């Protein structure tokens, strides 16, 4: 995966590459099933200039999501990010992140003071 980034031109590394170029590099490197990390895939497809603010916002949102849920919500977030780091997931524009956020906010919302 990291060799894929090394073979990209500097401008494409900063501002994103053509998806066909990334697909060609994947075939040349023997990555036939896709890039195994959404962190690398996001940089390859969208560039570093877009990726850094996105990752900063994502991390800030995850910390706020942790605050909005009960303590087990933090473990669910860590587990989901570990799984996402081993697949294309978030860089592939799927709804998996929205489903996890909805489940955490609905199932692990804080218990009100009077219900305790």
What DSSP designation does 110 have? P
Reading the block at residue 77, the tokens are: 């977030």
Give per-residue pLDDT as tens, 36-79: 778 888 888 888 999 999 999 999 999 999 999 998 899 999 99
- The pTM of this model reads 0.77
Q: Please write the tens of the pLDDT for every residue from 2-39.
A: 777 777 888 888 988 887 887 787 777 776 655 677 88
CB neighbour list of residue 65: distance below 8 Å, 6 or more residues apart: 73, 77, 101, 104, 105
Q: Of 81, 72, 82, 87, whose CA–CA distance to 31 is shortest? A: 87
Tell me the average pLDDT across 86-115. 81
User: Can you say how many angstroms the Cα of residue 49 is from the centroid of all Cα atoms in its chain?
Assistant: 16
Cβ 77 vs Cβ 42: under 8 Å: no
């Amino acid at each position: 995966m990291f060799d894929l980034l090394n073979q990209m031109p500097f401008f494409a590394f900063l501002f994103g590459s053509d998806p066909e170029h990334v697909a060609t590099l994947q075939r040349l490197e023997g990555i036939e099933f896709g890039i195994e990390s959404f962190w690398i895939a996001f940089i390859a497809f969208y560039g570093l200039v877009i990726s850094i603010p996105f990752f900063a916002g994502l991390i800030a949102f995850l910390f706020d999501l942790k605050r909005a849920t009960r303590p087990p919500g933090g473990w669910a977030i860590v587990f989901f990010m570990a799984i996402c780091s081993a697949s294309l997931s978030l860089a592939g524009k799927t709804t998996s992140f929205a489903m996890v956020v909805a489940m955490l906010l609905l199932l692990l919302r804080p218990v009100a003071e009077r219900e305790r």
